[in-house]
C-alpha cells in the first residue's frame, strides 16, 4: 500500500493569542479552545485526551495524558492574517507576506460597478454584520426591492445574501463571480461568499449546503500542486476546493455541515486508498458557533469530532498519517463576532509513530513539511 496523508482542519479551533494579536484588533486573552472549555463547564473529549490535546495547555475537562498515542504541539502563524484562506494556504506551504484587506464599507466604485455589471439596480447593507442577523434585519426590504444583501466582517470577505425564491441560486452565484472579477482588480479581498437563504416558518434561514466560496487564486503552488504534478491524487472534503480555487485538487466532495463531513471523511479513510492526501475542513465550529459566540454549540461540535476519532483510527492502515489542526481562532467568549489572531494545536497520529511533545513549531507549514516526509516528496 502507498502512503497516505489525512489532514482535518477544525475550522477556527485556536489555542491562544499570538503576541501580535493587538495589531489585529484582539487582546491577549483570546483563546478559543481554553476559554470555551471554561465557559461551558468543560469539554468531554476522551479521544483527544488520549492523543495529548490536554498536554498542550490547561483545557477544562481534558486531562493531561501520561502516555499519549499521538504527537502534539502548537503551531504559530507566519502569515499576517487571521482568515480561512491565509490559514489553509499556510498549512499547505504558502506563506503570505502581505495580509488580505478588510473593509468596514466597500467603496462606491466597487458597489457601483457591481450594480452596473449585474444589472441588479441596487444593493442593501454594505456594512459589517453577522450573517443571520443581517438577513433578519433586511429581509423585508429584500423581498420588496429584490436587491441583494451585501455585508462584510473583520475577515476579508465580500458576502452576498439572497432569498433563493427572490434571486435564483444561479443568479446569486453569477453575482458572486462578477464581484470576484471586480475585487481582483487590486482590492485585496480574500473571498466572495454566496449566502443563500429561504423563509422557513416565517423566518429567514440560511442554506448551508448551497453556500459557495469564490477565493482569490493562490499566487504560488502549494503541496497540493506538488502532489498532483507528480501524478498523485488529492481529495478535498468540505470547502477546501473553494479555498484553493481547485488548484491541486483532483476530486472534491461538498458537505452540508460537520456531521456530513465526518461521515464523508470516515468513508474516504475506509475506501479511498488511491488518494495521496485527504484534506478536510470542518466548518461548523467557525461558521455556526465561533462567529455566533455560541460556546456551548462549539463544545458539542468538538465532542462530536472526538467521537469519530476511534473510527478513523480503526480504519487507518500503517501507511496512513492523520493530522488534526486548525487555521485561526474565533473565540466564542470574546466580544464581537469575528476571527481572533491565535496559535493553533496540531496533533499527528500514525500506528507506527510513538507519541510525544512536538513543542512550538514556527509556521503552519510544519504540516506541509511533515506530509512531504511521510509521502516521500
Query: What pLDDT shows up at residue 99?
Result: 85
Q: Is 206 exposed, middle or buried (0-12, 13-18, 19+ CB in 10 A)?
A: middle
DSSP-derived letter for residue 158 is E
Alpha carbons 297 and 290: distance in angstroms, whole number:
9
- Contacts of 179-185 with CB under 8 Å at 24 or more apart are 179/114, 179/214, 180/214, 182/110, 182/113, 182/114, 182/117, 183/110, 183/158, 183/216, 184/216
All structural domains of the chain, each given as residue ranges with its CATH number in brackets, are 4-96+218-374 (3.40.720.10), 108-215 (3.30.70.1250)
User: pTM here?
Assistant: 0.90
Query: What pLDDT shows up at residue 337?
Result: 84
Answer for the pair 12, 37: CB distance below 8 angstroms, yes or no: no
Classify 199 as helix, strand or coil: strand
Question: What helix, strand, coil percent values describe the chain, rounded to 5?
Answer: 35, 25, 40
Alpha carbons 357 and 374: distance in angstroms, whole number:
18
User: The C-alpha cell of 255 is what?
Assistant: 458537505
Query: What pLDDT shows up at residue 131?
Result: 83
Query: What pLDDT shows up at residue 97?
Result: 84
Half-sphere exposure of 209 (CA within 13 A, CB side): 6
Q: What is the pLDDT along the chain (377 residues), one digit of tens a residue?
A: 799 999 999 999 999 999 999 999 999 999 999 999 999 999 999 999 999 999 999 999 999 999 999 999 999 999 999 999 999 999 999 999 888 998 989 999 999 999 999 999 999 999 998 888 899 999 999 999 999 999 998 679 999 999 999 999 999 999 999 999 999 999 999 999 999 999 999 899 998 889 899 989 999 999 999 999 999 999 999 999 999 999 999 999 999 999 999 999 999 999 999 999 999 999 999 989 999 999 999 999 999 999 999 999 999 999 999 999 999 999 999 998 889 999 999 999 999 999 999 999 999 999 999 999 999 99
Answer for the pair 78, 364: CB distance below 8 angstroms, yes or no: yes
Could you tell me which residues come within 8 angstroms of residue 56 by beta carbon, excluding any fewer than 6 positions away?
A: 15, 72, 73, 74, 345
Amino acid at each position: 500500500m502507498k502512503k497516505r496523508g489525512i489532514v482535518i482542519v477544525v475550522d477556527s479551533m485556536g489555542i491562544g493569542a499570538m503576541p501580535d494579536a493587538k495589531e489585529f484588533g484582539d487582546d491577549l486573552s483570546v483563546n478559543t479552545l481554553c476559554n470555551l472549555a471554561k465557559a461551558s463547564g468543560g469539554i468531554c473529549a476522551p479521544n483527544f485526551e488520549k492523543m495529548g490535546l490536554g498536554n498542550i495547555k490547561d483545557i477544562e475537562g481534558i486531562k493531561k495524558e501520561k502516555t499519549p498515542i499521538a504527537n502534539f504541539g502548537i503551531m504559530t502563524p507566519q502569515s499576517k492574517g487571521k482568515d480561512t484562506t491565509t490559514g489553509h494556504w499556510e498549512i499547505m506551504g504558502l506563506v503570505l507576506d502581505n495580509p488580505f484587506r478588510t473593509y468596514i464599507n466597500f467603496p462606491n466604485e466597487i458597489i457601483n460597478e457591481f450594480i452596473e455589471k449585474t444589472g441588479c439596480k441596487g444593493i442593501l447593507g454594505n456594512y459589517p454584520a453577522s450573517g443571520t442577523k443581517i438577513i433578519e434585519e433586511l429581509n423585508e426590504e429584500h423581498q420588496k426591492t429584490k436587491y441583494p444583501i451585501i455585508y462584510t466582517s473583520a475577515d476579508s470577505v465580500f458576502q452576498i445574501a439572497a432569498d433563493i425564491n427572490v434571486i435564483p441560486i444561479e443568479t446569486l452565484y453569477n453575482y458572486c463571480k462578477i464581484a470576484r472579477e471586480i475585487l481582483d482588480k487590486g482590492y485585496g479581498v480574500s473571498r466572495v461568499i454566496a449566502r443563500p437563504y429561504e423563509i422557513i416558518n416565517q423566518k429567514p434561514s440560511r442554506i448551508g449546503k448551497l453556500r459557495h466560496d469564490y477565493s482569490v487564486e493562490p499566487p504560488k503552488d502549494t503541496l497540493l500542486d506538488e502532489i498532483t504534478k507528480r501524478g498523485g491524487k488529492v481529495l478535498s472534503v468540505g470547502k477546501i476546493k473553494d479555498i484553493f480555487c481547485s488548484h491541486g485538487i483532483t476530486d472534491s466532495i461538498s458537505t452540508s455541515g460537520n456531521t456530513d463531513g465526518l461521515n464523508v471523511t470516515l468513508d474516504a479513510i475506509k475506501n479511498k486508498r488511491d488518494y495521496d492526501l485527504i484534506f478536510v475542513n470542518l466548518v461548523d465550529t467557525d461558521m455556526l458557533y465561533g462567529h455566533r459566540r455560541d460556546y456551548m454549540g462549539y463544545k458539542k461540535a468538538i465532542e462530536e469530532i472526538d467521537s469519530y476519532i476511534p473510527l478513523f483510527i480503526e480504519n487507518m492502515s500503517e501507511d496512513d498519517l492523520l493530522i488534526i489542526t486548525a487555521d485561526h481562532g474565533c473565540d466564542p467568549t470574546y466580544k464581537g463576532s469575528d476571527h481572533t489572531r491565535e496559535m493553533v494545536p496540531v496533533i499527528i497520529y500514525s500506528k507506527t509513530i510513538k507519541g510525544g511533545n512536538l513543542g512550538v513549531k514556527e509556521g503552519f507549514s510544519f504540516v506541509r513539511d511533515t506530509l512531504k516526509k511521510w509521502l516521500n516528496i
